[in-house]
């Protein structure tokens, strides 16, 4: 079976370019998602990996659509190989069914990681310059929710799990733990 996997990082981005590139492969089953590839904890990726069977081929636009880190990419490819599933990337023109394809995959994964790390480094440098010039103030401070003290105390006394506290405070996980650290350092 020919399986397609298409991913963009945000809901605002468009899948059409990738979908158009996969048409030539006569895709039987398509998995699409609009979510970051910071890790492999993605619903459609998991569903595709569970769906694929020995002898199937998974078609993608490019390796960075499948994974951002070399480790994640190689882990996915190894899982596919163990299960007898092939991977074909349009952009890199690589088929993991061949020895050359496997070698190229390892090299491209390393280069993708290198490029991403360079981009993040340039971003940090740009922010540092903007801060020095007074043009970047950082993210806006988040105020403690009105029910913070009550929920925090319940969380600290193990009456609430972190997940429940986050729900009741209507915060993101990282914000919740950042506020805890701030609150405890301020005491």
Q: Token pair of 179, please? A: 């506020």
Give yes or no: 36 in active site.
no
Which one is catalytic: 9, 36, 89, 146?
9
The backbone region for 104, taken as left when phi is positive above 0, alpha when psi lies in -120 to 50, beta otherwise, is alpha
**How deeply is 146 buried, as exposed, middle or buried, from its count of CB atoms within 10 A (0-12, 13-18, 19+)?**
exposed
CA–CA gap between residue 105 and residue 86 (Å, rounded):
12
Within 13 A of 124's CA, how many CA atoms are on the CB side? Answer: 6
3-state DSSP call for residue 29?
A: strand
Residues belonging to the active site: 9
């Amino acid at each position: 079976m020919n399986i397609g996997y298409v991913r963009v990082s945000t809901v605002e981005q468009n899948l059409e370019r990738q979908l158009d590139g996969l048409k030539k492969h006569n895709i039987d089953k398509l998995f699409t998602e609009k979510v970051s590839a910071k890790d492999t904890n993605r619903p459609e990726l998991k569903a595709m990996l569970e769906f694929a069977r020995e002898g199937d081929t998974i078609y993608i636009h490019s390796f960075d659509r499948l994974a951002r880190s070399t480790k994640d990419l190689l882990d996915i490819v190894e899982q596919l190989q163990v299960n007898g599933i092939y991977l074909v990337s349009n952009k890199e023109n690589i088929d993991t069914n061949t020895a050359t394809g496997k070698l190229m995959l390892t090299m491209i994964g390393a280069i993708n990681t290198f490029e991403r790390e360079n981009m993040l480094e340039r971003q940090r440098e740009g922010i540092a310059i903007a801060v020095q010039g007074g043009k970047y103030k950082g993210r806006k401070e988040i105020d403690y929710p009105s029910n913070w003290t009550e929920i925090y105390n319940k969380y600290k006394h193990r009456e609430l799990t972190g997940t429940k506290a986050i729900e009741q405070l209507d915060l993101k996980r990282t914000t919740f733990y950042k506020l805890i650290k701030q609150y405890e350092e301020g005491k």
